Amino acid sequence: MSLAVKAVGIRKSFGSHEVLKGLDLEVAYGEVLCILGPSGSGKSTFLRCINHLETPNGGYVWVDGAIMGYELNRGALQELPVKRLRAQQSQLGMVFQHFNLFAHRTVLGNVIEGPMVVRGLSRDEAEARAMGLLEQVGMAAKASSYPSQLSGGQKQRVAIARALAMEPRVMLFDEPTSALDPELVGEVLEVMRNLARGGTTMIVVTHEIGFAREVADRVVVMIDGEIREMGAPQQVLSDPGDPRVRTFLSRVLA
């Protein structure tokens, strides 16, 4: 199993508040990793540090042979120009809690934006591939709708298609179902389940313990900016060694 992502000693503070206290993590290609933890534990911040939406205050992230945002130069990390950072970021597909679909573009317009502007694909080619992806997430019929005309679950499925359109090495999901009405969670999890079955490398920050148990290869539990537990889902979820993880799980599983 070759590594896709390796995070080394990630630290992040907002003002005097230290959110991440030196995190290490390795994710292999084809692996599905779920990050669980109480709110405020820093799991979203950790995910945002992985793709440099937040710049870590310490440590670095290695993705597929390169360090995010930096280049190793005579033993030091030299910050990259923004254009090269963006090229690296496009290797990591991101799905946000609040979808963040481009409000002024149709569903199809959202999905072709990255391939056309960043990858330089022709409109025809981008549209053909986008329709394939929309088919995959069950949104092809809504291709010419605007985001404001969609339900939350539909928006999130389009957002997944938009991220996939860049053919990323790894897909990151930041609480993809937390902003959804309960009856819409299932359709989004179904799309994610299919991606996982297809061998997509995924890092998923979630509150959906059931999804983690069923789909994840490994589960990480974060508490107060630290990884307290890491391992196979059945081991971590049913028999955690850490007492604080036990407390957290008993609360969410209750």
In the complex, least distance from residue 75 CB atom to another protein, rounded to whole angstroms: 28
Contact present, 216 and 32 (Cβ < 8 Å): yes
Q: Which of 142, 162, 218, 228 binds another protein (CB under 8 A)?
A: 162
Say if CB 61 and CB 8 are below 8 A apart. yes
> Per CB under 8 A, which of residues 52..111 are in contact with another protein?
53, 82-83, 86-87, 89-90, 92-94, 96, 98-106
Nearer to another protein, 2 or 148 (CB): 148
Which CB sits closer to another protein, 73 or 148? 148
Calculate the alpha carbon distances from 218 to 153, 176, 193, 208 in Å: 26, 18, 15, 14
Answer whether 79's CB lies under 8 Å from 156's CB.
no
Is the CB of 27 or the CB of 170 nearer to another protein?
A: 170
Asked whether 166 and 114 are in contact (CB, 8 A), the reply is yes
**Structural element, H or E, at residue 195:** helix 182-197
Task: Tell me, rounded to whole angstroms, the distance of Cα 67 from its chain centroid.
Answer: 18
Asked whether position 51 contacts another protein by CB under 8 A, the answer is: yes
- State the Cα–Cα distance between residues 252 and 100, nearest whole angstrom: 27
Closest CB to another protein among residues 105, 193: 105
**CB hemisphere CA count around 66 (13 angstroms):** 16
The correct pick among 30, 129, 146, 226 for binding another protein (CB under 8 A) is 146
Select 101 or 237, whichever has its Cβ closest to another protein.
101
Among 117, 128, 141, 253, binds another protein (CB under 8 A): 117
The residues of the shown chain that bind another protein, judged by CB under 8 A, are 51, 53, 82-83, 86-87, 89-90, 92-94, 96, 98-106, 113-114, 117-118, 146-148, 159, 162-163, 166
